[in-house]
Chains A and B, each alone.
Chain A
Amino acid sequence: MSSSKTAPVTPENHSDWVPLLELAAREVFELMLSCHLTVPASAPDASLGITSMVGLAGQLCGVLSIRCDRKSATLMASKMLGVNPENVGPELSDALGEVCNMVAGNFKNKIPGLSEGCMLSPPTVITGNDYDLHPLADSAALQLWLLFEDSPIVISLQIHN
């Protein structure tokens, strides 16, 4: 669970961050939701209608997002609150935002220099999937497909170089 030594923040080694992003997500789900994320055999064809986003600014600029379906979001919230899924109400957005915030924070804490040199925005949660994201700068994107309780989630890091 400890931070591993990694390369400094440079544009050419973003792909090296994929394992760190996965580790950051795994730790959050294991410690805060008591569940293990697994890796799907292939990228699932799924409609994911809830998106949580946290902006990063400073040495690393970009957006980290987590997308999932409503059932998964409800299950995440229920695990965080310690209640049955049917008792999850308006806390759903708050819960998903916090998951994204913790993954983003945990990720940046694993990269030397980023912990101090990168700030996080408050999370934003979008419901619905009829939208396109248009980054306003040259950017690379890291994307991870994972399974949360057998349902797909996508974790993306859009990087503004």
Chain B
Amino acid sequence: MNSVRALIVDDSAVMRKIVERSLRQAGIDLKQVFEAGNGAEALGVLNENAVDLILCDINMPVMDGMEFVKQLAGVTNAKGVPVVMITTEGSESHVVEALSNGARGYIRKPFTPDQVREQIIPILAGRP
């Protein structure tokens, strides 16, 4: 698998570090990691940078993860980029809403590196 440029979106800096570490523990070769504290910041990152994978929390201030995923449709650097939600919100309706908005995967907190691997490796394997 090629090395990956990842964007991690979470209002907790600690959680962003945990997600990054879990990606590495899952065997994903990270070439570059961008971080954002909410959806609006993440859109700003994407205006300046191309990424291969986006991991996004749902409950965040300013712009939440659901709105962020909706807005990705108009972002050139996000075209074809898989988004995986990582959140404490575990209801079926949240999963359905996230997937219908364009997310490719859904990981509930708390999670293990194995769960990250199971969700993300197949998604990355299918990218162009």
Contact B21 A82 (CB under 8 A): yes
Complex: A66 Cα to B31 Cα, angstroms: 37
Bitwise interface map of B from 80 to 97 toward A, beta carbon under 8 Å scored 1, else 0: 000000011111111000
Q: Of the candidates B14, B17, B61, B88, which one forms a contact with A120 in the assembled complex, judged by CB atoms under 8 Å apart?
A: B88
Complex contacts, B94 vs chain A, CB 8 Å: 116
Contact B110 A102 (CB under 8 A): yes
Contact A27 B21 (CB under 8 A): no
Count of inter-chain pairs, beta carbons less than 8 A:
61
Complex: A96 Cα to B63 Cα, angstroms: 23
Contact B12 A97 (CB under 8 A): yes
Contact A98 B14 (CB under 8 A): yes
Contact A98 B15 (CB under 8 A): yes
Report the count of interface residues on A (CB-CB < 8 A): 23
Complex: A32 Cα to B49 Cα, angstroms: 30
A-B contact pairs, 30 of them (CB 8 A): A27-B110, A28-B110, A31-B112, A32-B109, A32-B110, A32-B111, A81-B17, A82-B17, A91-B14, A94-B12, A95-B14, A97-B12, A98-B12, A101-B12, A102-B109, A102-B110, A105-B87, A105-B89, A105-B108, A106-B88, A106-B109, A109-B91, A115-B90, A115-B92, A116-B91, A116-B92, A116-B93, A120-B88, A122-B59, A122-B61
